[in-house]
Amino acid sequence: MRILDAFLDLLLPRRCVLCRRVLGDDEEMVCEGCMESVPFIHHHEFLSNEVAKLLWRRAPIERTTCVMRYIPDTHSSRLILAPKYEGREDVAEWLGQLMFRQLADTDFFLGIDTVVPVPSPPEKSRERGFDRIETMARALVSEMRQAGYDVRMEAEVVLRPKDDVSQTALSGLQRVEHIKAEDFKVVHPERLTGNLLLVDDVITTGATIVAFANAISMAARPASIHVLGASRTAR
Ligand SMILES: [Zn+2]
């Protein structure tokens, strides 16, 4: 550990984002004990996993997987929601790294040319000064590059216009269900080429990612579309 880091740790010890226990030198963001309770999903067969099944026939998506289960009021939901409600940009970054590390030993990333984060509505990303999904995707791309993948990131090539009045009147889940491909505006179709990996934080009904994938395939000509979610709600 660098001297400056050691000094800062004395003043402001790094704590587990879940239980607040002071982290050891070899622990990052979440302590070992809490990490054991994170419900990771270990998929070995991407084509037949349950998230892939959820999206089949609804959009031209070839492979889909998620890294952990999203279980309300548990460690998994607190991790996923920390960037959103606590403004923890560092947790979003760490989640992106985790998305790579959990699948690093598989062939999931083979052939991926471009990573595309699902855009947030404009007012949402301004609330915290950062877009959590974009931050996650950027960290994922950085890990992929370090591992030797020749991959680029394309943010802001698709816009998600501000929610209109009729949408705002609906409750959270209804709003998600109402998302259509037309709600996304592809502003740079020429950059959406090759094999795309779409990234989102939570996949629930799949409505958002299906609409996003359909918007892209209608406006651009990607070779293929794949999906990676940080989490997946339990059924
Ligand atoms: Zn902990």
What CATH number has the domain spanning 39-233?
3.40.50
Using the mean position of ligand 1's atoms as its centre, give its distance from the Cα of residue 194 in Å: 40
The pLDDT, as a whole number, for residue 178 is 77
The pLDDT, as a whole number, for residue 133 is 95
Using the mean position of ligand 1's atoms as its centre, give its distance from the Cα of residue 60 in Å: 39
The pLDDT, as a whole number, for residue 58 is 84
Write out pLDDT tens, residues 175-188. 556 788 999 999 99
The pLDDT, as a whole number, for residue 2 is 63
The pLDDT, as a whole number, for residue 15 is 93
Using the mean position of ligand 1's atoms as its centre, give its distance from the Cα of residue 234 in Å: 22
* Tens-level pLDDT at each residue, the chain (235 residues): 567 766 766 678 899 999 999 999 999 999 999 999 999 987 655 555 677 777 877 888 988 899 999 999 999 999 999 998 999 999 999 999 999 999 999 999 999 999 999 998 777 656 668 999 999 999 999 999 999 999 999 998 999 876 654 545 555 555 556 788 999 999 999 999 999 999 999 998 899 999 999 999 999 999 999 999 999 987 6
Using the mean position of ligand 1's atoms as its centre, give its distance from the Cα of residue 80 in Å: 15
Q: Would you list the DSSP string of 173-209?
A: HHHHHT--GGGSEES-GGG--SEEEEEEEEESSSHHH
Using the mean position of ligand 1's atoms as its centre, give its distance from the Cα of residue 13 in Å: 14
The pLDDT, as a whole number, for residue 125 is 59
What's the whole-model pTM score?
Answer: 0.88
Query: Counting every residue, how long is the chain?
Result: 235
Using the mean position of ligand 1's atoms as its centre, give its distance from the Cα of residue 111 in Å: 36
- Return the amino acid letter for 173: L
Using the mean position of ligand 1's atoms as its centre, give its distance from the Cα of residue 29 in Å: 9
Using the mean position of ligand 1's atoms as its centre, give its distance from the Cα of residue 15 in Å: 8
Using the mean position of ligand 1's atoms as its centre, give its distance from the Cα of residue 25 in Å: 14
* CA angle in degrees (0–180, nearest 5) for 81-100-230: 25
Using the mean position of ligand 1's atoms as its centre, give its distance from the Cα of residue 116 in Å: 31
The pLDDT, as a whole number, for residue 43 is 66
Using the mean position of ligand 1's atoms as its centre, give its distance from the Cα of residue 27 in Å: 10
Using the mean position of ligand 1's atoms as its centre, give its distance from the Cα of residue 202 in Å: 22
Using the mean position of ligand 1's atoms as its centre, give its distance from the Cα of residue 21 in Å: 6
- Domain regions of the chain by residue span: 1-37, 39-233
First to last CA, the chain: 43
Using the mean position of ligand 1's atoms as its centre, give its distance from the Cα of residue 22 in Å: 8
Report yes or no: 158 and 187 within 8 Å, Cβ to Cβ: yes
Using the mean position of ligand 1's atoms as its centre, give its distance from the Cα of residue 229 in Å: 23
